[in-house]
Amino acid sequence: MTREEKSQVIETLTAELSDAKTLYLTDTAGLNAKDTTALRRACFKAGIRLSVVKNTLLSKAMDASDKEFGDLKEVLKGNTSLMFSEVGNAPAKVIKDFRKKSDKPVLKGAYIEEAVYVGDDQIDLLVAIKSKEELIGDIITLLQSPAKNVISGLKSGGGTLAGIIKTLSEK
């Protein structure tokens, strides 16, 4: 790879890192072709873009980026695959699901909306993170709950009150 090609790759990676809200660094070394294809398909179905990068080029792109990646540069050893996603927990779910059949991919680290997670032991925590849509749904459910209680109380009380008035009028 020539210097010009390397600088072009760094520029492209820098742009992708600047735009990314969710980034996972994984180790997929040791996967055979069949498993790699299955992982790529699972990522595609979940809306995740998977790519393999050179550690030195990724490190330079992280330096050139306007984001603070914290300790993620320290995990850039061995083979590194990047997972870009719009949903914070989608790559973690794909990794956890894929690990039912294989011991790979191993999570090196993740960057989710300015928070940095390092290490494979963080996978359960990352799976539990709720997406923006899930949080909005939870908030709407919580806000609707008291209103539903009031409305159902008025309906049941109104039926009881109407029944009492009808009974009294018949006497």
12 and 86 belong to one structural domain = yes
Residue 88 DSSP label: T
pTM: 0.74
Task: Give the ranges where the chain is alpha helix by DSSP (H).
Answer: 3-19, 33-45, 55-64, 90-98, 123-128, 132-170
Q: Which tokens go with 46?
A: 């979940």
Q: Which tokens go with 117?
A: 């997670």
116 and 43 belong to one structural domain = yes
34-60: average pLDDT: 90
Average pLDDT, the chain: 83
**Residue the block writes with tokens 């699901």:** 97
64 and 137 belong to one structural domain = no
Percentage of the chain lying above the pLDDT 90 cut: 11
103-141 pLDDT, tens digit each: 888 888 888 887 888 888 888 888 888 777 778 888 888
What's the domain range around 161? 131-171
Looking at the structure of the chain, the number of domains it has is 2
CATH number of the domain bearing residue 31: 3.30.70.1730
50 and 94 belong to one structural domain = yes
